[in-house]
Amino acid sequence: MTPAGSPTAPTVGSAPTARTAPTIIGWSHSAFGRRPESLQELMGQVAREAVAHAGLELTEVDALHVGVFNNGLYPQGFEAALPAVEIPEFELVPAHRHESACATGSAAVFAAYDAVAAGRAKVALVIGAEHMTHVPGHDVGNVLLSASYREEEEHHKSFAGVFGELARQYTDRYGDPSESLARIAAKNHGNGAHNPLAHMQKDLGFEFCHTVSEKNPYVAEPLRRTDCSLVSDGAAALVIAAPEVAVSAPQAVGWRGQGNANDALPISRRDPLELRGASAAMDQALRAAGVRLTDLDLLETHDCFTIAELLQYEAFGLAARGEGGSVIDSGFTAIDGALPVNPSGGLKSKGHPIGATGVSMHVMAARQLVGDASGLQVPGAELAGVFNMGGVAVSNFASVLERVR
């Protein structure tokens, strides 16, 4: 999938089989939205629930991997130490904080996987969290813009402005995608209406999403409010265990494949519509799993803006460049389509608490695979994909997950 003339991403290598590799054995997910709890309280809540869901005691956790973006969103730093404030049993447990823009959560997930695979931990607890809604909108926008290359992209004033520029470039090159973007928004809001954990549980419909109005104004033309993900608070957690622990767990979900690739931070150094880092990461994961994208039963992907999901259709090979609209327009990615994309509602409806997002995606996929996604369930789901990116596909993580038990 690497575009012609682009640098070739290094191969991560084949993943161990789901029966021998580190395995997800427990999870928890707070409701996303405007939360009254503090950041550390949210972290403590999901940590306790995930460990209990795995059938373990808190004292059995021997590594913590925490994903929090922060960067000024919240006054308390040193986030790796916060879970132990809520849970004294963690006070002597090695704890690590990870940050990779909007891929922060997946960075923590992959680091925990690697720690278990290397034998440095038998039970790694991953916590992704963010508290954002207490910050004025202008300040949130300024903090998030730090995930772009400010020296060249400061003039966009917000991340919506950066992706608005991508949508304008897409229009100039291929034609106006606004109708297809509205269909993506409507699809994800329709799915999220059935997700009790989603920030916005309302089916907005295509006409509302497609119409510029007082309630749906332009945010960064041509992107409307319904083209942009929600500023949210929330947390999610995973327990990743070694095989000797996972064998007795009440449930288990493993990796068939993983992919991880970066790309140049300044978008001036590449064609930002190609999302070549996204393509490389997904290609690695699929090759390691020995499957094609269309073999997956569902995909949770990074729809921070609807134009991002559209570009991912093309980067992942579902459509040729400039033809991503055909994927959504045909119903291919609908909840009852050939490849349901974002059955959880995605970032668009579920919400986007930055550090929690990548962990949330893995939780939502795992729930699908064990048949525990009531209201959102894709019947007979056996293989699930996850794609999480930071920046304009600068930091890219892809997983292919399967049910072990």
Listed as ranges, residues in the chain with pLDDT below 50 are 1-6, 11-14, 17-19
Domain parsing of the chain, residue ranges: 23-134+232-246
The pLDDT of residue 3 is 42
Q: How far apart are CA 77 and CA 71, in angstroms?
A: 9
Cα(51)–Cα(241) distance, integer angstroms: 11
State the pLDDT at residue 374: 86
Confidence (pLDDT) at 320: 98
For 27-39, the pLDDT digits (tens) are 999 999 999 999 9
Concatenating the DSSP letter of every residue in 309-369 gives: HHHHHHHTTSS-TT-THHHHHTTTTSTTSSS-B-TT-HHHHH---HHHHHHHHHHHHHHHH
* The pLDDT value given to residue 368: 98
Query: Over the stretch 174-221, which tens digit does the pLDDT of each residue have?
Result: 999 999 999 999 999 999 999 999 999 999 999 999 999 999 999 999
- Global confidence as pTM: 0.95
Question: What's residue 5's pLDDT?
Answer: 40
- For the domain spanning 23-134+232-246, the CATH number is 3.40.47.10
Candidates 231, 226, 265, 199; CA nearest to 354 is 231
